[in-house]
Structure 1
Amino acid sequence: MLRRLSLALAVAAASYGTAWADQAPSQAPLASKTDLVTVYQEAARNNADIAAARADYQAQREVVPQARAGLLPNLSAGANLANTRTEVDSPANSATRSGTVYQANLSQPLFRADRWFQLQAAEASSEQAALELSASEQNLILQSAETYFSVLLAQDTLASTKAEEAAFKRQLDQANERFDVGLSDKTDVLEAQAGFDTARANRIIAQRQVDDAFQALVTLTNREYLAIEGILHTLPILAPTPADAKAWVDTAAAQNLNLQAINYAVDAAEDTLRQRKSGHAPTLDAVASYQKGDNDSLGFSNSAGSINRFSGDVEQRSIGLQLNIPLYSGGLTSSQVREAYQRVNQSEQLRESLRRQVVQNTRNLFRAVNTDVETVQARKQSIISNQSALEATEIGYQVGTRNIVDVLDAQRQLYSSVRNYNNARYDYILNNLRLKQAAGTLSPGDLEALGAFLKPDYDPDKDFLPPDLARAAEAQLRGDLDY
Structure 2
Amino acid sequence: MKRKLRGAAAGRWSVSVAALVSVGLGTPAAADTLREALGLAYQTNPTLTGARAGLRATDEDVGIARAQGLPDVSATGSYNEFVKRSANAFTQPKRSLGGSATVSVPIYQGGFVRNSIRAAKARVEQGRAGLQATESNVFTQAVAAYMDVIRDTAIVDLNAGNVKVLETNLQASQDRFQVGDLTRTDVAQSEARLAGARANLRTAQAQLDASRQTYLEVVGKFPDALETPPALPGLPATSEDAVDIAVANNPDLASARQATRAAEYDIGVAEASRMPRLNAVGTGDYVDYRGTLAGGAAGVRQVDKTATVSLQLQVPIYQGGGPAAQVRQAQARKSQAIENQTAIERAVIADARVAFARYEAALGVIDSSQVAVSANELALEGVRAEQSVGNRNLLDVLNAEQELLNSRSALVSAKRDAYVAGFALIAAMGRAQAKDLGLDGGALYDPVANYRRVHGRIWDWDSDPRPKPVATSTLKEPSVSAVPSHSLVESPAK
Give yes or no for TM over 0.5: yes
Deviation at 1:170, TM superposition (A): 2.5
Q: Which residue pairs with 2:141 in the alignment?
A: 143
CA contact (8 A) 2:372 2:407 kept: yes
Deviation at 1:126, TM superposition (A): 1.3
Correspondent of 2:344 among 354, 362, 367:
354
CA contact (8 A) 2:30 2:36 kept: no
Superimposed CA distance per residue, residues 108-166 of structure 1 (whole angstroms, 9 cap, x where no aligned partner): 11111122211111111111112111221232222221111111111111111112112
Unpaired stretches in structure 2, ≥5 consecutive residues: 1-28, 440-494
- The answer to whether structure 1 residue 274 and structure 2 residue 264 are counterparts is no
Aligned-partner Cα distance in 2 for 1:380–1:158: 19
Deviation at 1:299, TM superposition (A): 5.2
Q: Which residue pairs with 2:92 in the alignment?
A: 95
Superimposed CA distance per residue, residues 232-285 of structure 1 (whole angstroms, 9 cap, x where no aligned partner): xxx6689x5330222211111110011101111111112112211221111111
Superimposed CA distance per residue, residues 173-211 of structure 1 (whole angstroms, 9 cap, x where no aligned partner): 232233222222111111111101111111122223323
Deviation at 1:104, TM superposition (A): 1.0
Correspondent of 1:365 among 351, 355, 365:
355
- The answer to whether structure 1 residue 411 and structure 2 residue 401 are counterparts is yes
1:364 maps to a residue whose letter is V
The 3 A distance-change label for structure 1 pair 97 and 237 is closer
CA contact (8 A) 1:75 1:104 kept: yes
Q: How does 1:277-426 map to 2 (within 5 A)?
A: 277-295=271-289, 296-298=291-293, 310-426=300-416
Aligned-partner Cα distance in 2 for 1:237–1:127: 30
CA contact (8 A) 1:249 1:359 kept: yes
Aligned-partner Cα distance in 2 for 1:66–1:183: 90
Deviation at 1:34, TM superposition (A): 1.8
CA contact (8 A) 1:36 1:447 kept: no
Structure with the bigger percentage of helix: 1
Aligned-partner Cα distance in 1 for 2:301–2:84: 15
Superimposed CA distance per residue, residues 437-465 of structure 1 (whole angstroms, 9 cap, x where no aligned partner): 0000124587679xxxxxxxxxxxxxxxx
1:127 maps to a residue whose letter is E
Q: Which residue pairs with 1:108 in the alignment?
A: 105
Deviation at 1:394, TM superposition (A): 3.1
Give the root-mean-square deviation of aligned CA atoms: 2.6
CA contact (8 A) 2:129 2:255 kept: yes
CA contact (8 A) 1:85 1:95 kept: no
Determine helix, strand or coil for the equivalent of 1:243.
coil
Aligned-partner Cα distance in 1 for 2:83–2:31: 86
4+ residue runs over 6 A deviation: 445-449
CA contact (8 A) 1:294 1:311 kept: no
Correspondent of 1:261 among 255, 259, 265:
255
Aligned-partner Cα distance in 1 for 2:404–2:91: 111
Determine helix, strand or coil for the equivalent of 1:317.
strand
The 3 A distance-change label for structure 1 pair 314 and 444 is closer
Which range moves more in the overlay, 152-161 or 142-151? 142-151
Determine helix, strand or coil for the equivalent of 2:300.
strand
Q: Which residue pairs with 1:22 in the alignment?
A: none
Return the index of the structure with the highest Cα Rg: 1
Q: How many residues were matched structurally?
A: 408
Deviation at 1:434, TM superposition (A): 0.6
Superimposed CA distance per residue, residues 282-330 of structure 1 (whole angstroms, 9 cap, x where no aligned partner): 1111111111112344459xxxxxx998332211111121111112222
Determine helix, strand or coil for the equivalent of 2:96.
strand
CA contact (8 A) 1:85 1:94 kept: no
Aligned-partner Cα distance in 2 for 1:443–1:276: 36
2:92 maps to a residue whose letter is A
CA contact (8 A) 1:262 1:351 kept: yes
CA contact (8 A) 2:126 2:259 kept: yes
Superimposed CA distance per residue, residues 349-386 of structure 1 (whole angstroms, 9 cap, x where no aligned partner): 11111110100010111122222222212111110111
Unpaired stretches in structure 1, ≥5 consecutive residues: 1-30, 301-306, 450-483
1:98 maps to a residue whose letter is R
Structure with the bigger percentage of strand: 1
Aligned-partner Cα distance in 1 for 2:320–2:144: 56
Which range moves more in the overlay, 38-47 or 349-358? 38-47
